[in-house]
């Protein structure tokens, strides 16, 4: 499954869950037992932890800057380029950069 589609579906499911959980008078919420609502809240929390946050994007202009003779790029070609770029970054420094960024943000103010 395409990562964008997968993330989009998770985001949509999170919105549905939030609507069920937080909307007083919601017929679905009214039909749920407290235990079922707890399960929905747990699912929502787990999905929230899995939601992706984009750190960079690639545009056709970016590709044309490095490959001026690229011609017309289809969406499918752009998705393949983005996928290869993602894999390359994950293999070459992503995890180290992520650790450094997280430690910087989580470090208490001195």
How much is the pLDDT for 110? 45
User: How many whole angstroms separate alpha carbon 27 and alpha carbon 24?
Assistant: 9
For residue 40, the Cα-to-chain-centroid distance in whole angstroms is 20
pLDDT value of residue 50 = 66
pLDDT at 62: 92
- Looking at residue 1, its pLDDT comes to 41
pLDDT tens digit at each of 110 positions of the chain: 444 445 556 667 777 777 777 766 666 666 777 887 788 778 877 777 766 677 888 899 999 999 998 889 999 999 899 889 988 888 888 888 888 988 989 998 74
Coil vs helix vs strand at 91: helix
CA distances from 22 to 13, 14, 69, 83, 98 (A): 14, 12, 52, 36, 33
- Structure token pair of residue 35: 């235990």
Question: CB neighbours (10 Å) of residue 20?
Answer: 19
**In the chain, what are the domain boundaries?**
3-50, 60-106
HEC string of 27-43? HHHHHCCHHHHHHHHHH
Distance CA 86, CA 98 (A): 14
């Amino acid at each position: 499954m395409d990562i964008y589609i997968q993330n989009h579906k998770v985001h949509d499911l999170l919105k549905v869950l939030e609507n069920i959980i937080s909307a007083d008078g919601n017929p679905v919420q009214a039909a749920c037992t407290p235990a079922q609502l707890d399960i929905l809240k747990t699912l929502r929390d787990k999905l929230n932890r899995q939601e992706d946050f984009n750190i960079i994007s690639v545009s056709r202009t970016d590709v044309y800057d490095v490959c001026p003779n690229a011609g017309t790029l289809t969406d499918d070609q752009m998705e393949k380029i983005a996928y290869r770029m993602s894999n390359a970054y994950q293999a070459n420094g992503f995890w180290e950069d992520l650790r450094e960024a997280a430690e910087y943000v989580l470090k208490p103010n001195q």
